[in-house]
């Protein structure tokens, strides 16, 4: 009986507190981040088919492949084919990007928003337009970091998740 009474009091106190600070908890679905502030800046991010972005992405991935060699011929061939699939991209809508579209990208986007207090307008998501059915698309998550540099996170390049496959884009 005491537990039920305590639970009701806690529920009532939470409702009163939410009402006092005018917080509508029904507006935000689980997994979404409310906009904390309106961005005062408009970052100068490269477009998804920017020639420099694609060239730097390919150079970065070639360097990664050299520094992390594989033994099997199958894995080498996979990497070579995969590298061909990162030459064209289409922009994806950042607002409302969900884990149903791609879990790794949605998780990274969510964590970056939380850690750096950023909103949707400060990101660009690019999805490779490869027609090779063997591979899932490669994604680029592009944003300006705290140092004012344009950071590019490469996701889904390999079947296994690599902790931080990222580089700094230079104009």
Q: Does position 102 have pLDDT exceeding 90, yes or no?
A: no
Q: How confident is the model at residue 2 (pLDDT cuts 50, 70, 90)?
A: low
pLDDT at 43: 62
pLDDT at 152: 95
Whether the CB-CB separation of 69 and 106 falls below 8 Å is answered with no
In order of 49, 75, 89, the CA distances from 96 in angstroms are 22, 35, 19
Whether the CB-CB separation of 62 and 83 falls below 8 Å is answered with yes
Give the other-Cβ count within 10 Å of 163's Cβ: 5
pLDDT at 21: 45
Total-model pTM: 0.72
pLDDT at 124: 95
Helix (H, G, I), strand (E, B) or coil at 18: helix
- Residues 133-171: tens digit of each pLDDT: 677 888 999 999 889 899 999 988 876 666 678 999 998
Q: Does position 22 have pLDDT exceeding 90, yes or no?
A: no
- Residues 36-85: tens digit of each pLDDT: 444 444 468 999 999 999 999 999 999 999 998 888 998 888 888 888 88
Tokens for 61, please give them: 């991935």
Q: Does position 14 have pLDDT exceeding 80, yes or no?
A: no
- Between 29 and 114, the more confident residue is 114
Q: Does position 127 have pLDDT exceeding 90, yes or no?
A: yes
């Amino acid at each position: 009986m005491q537990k039920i009474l305590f639970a009701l009091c806690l529920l009532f106190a939470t409702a009163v507190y939410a009402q006092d600070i005018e917080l509508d908890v029904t507006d935000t679905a689980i997994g979404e981040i409310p906009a904390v502030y309106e961005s005062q800046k408009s970052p100068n991010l490269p477009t998804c088919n920017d020639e420099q972005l694609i060239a730097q992405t390919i150079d970065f991935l070639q360097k990664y492949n050299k520094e992390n060699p594989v033994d099997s011929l199958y894995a080498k061939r996979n990497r070579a084919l995969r590298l061909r699939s990162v030459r064209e991209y289409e922009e994806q809508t950042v607002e409302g990007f969900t884990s149903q579209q791609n879990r790794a990208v949605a998780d990274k986007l969510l964590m970056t928003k939380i850690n750096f207090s950023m909103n949707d307008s400060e990101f660009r998501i690019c999805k490779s337009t490869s027609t090779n059915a063997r591979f899932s698309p490669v994604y680029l998550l592009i944003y300006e970091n705290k140092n004012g540099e344009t950071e590019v996170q490469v996701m889904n390049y390999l079947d296994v998740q690599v902790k931080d496959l990222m580089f700094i884009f230079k104009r």
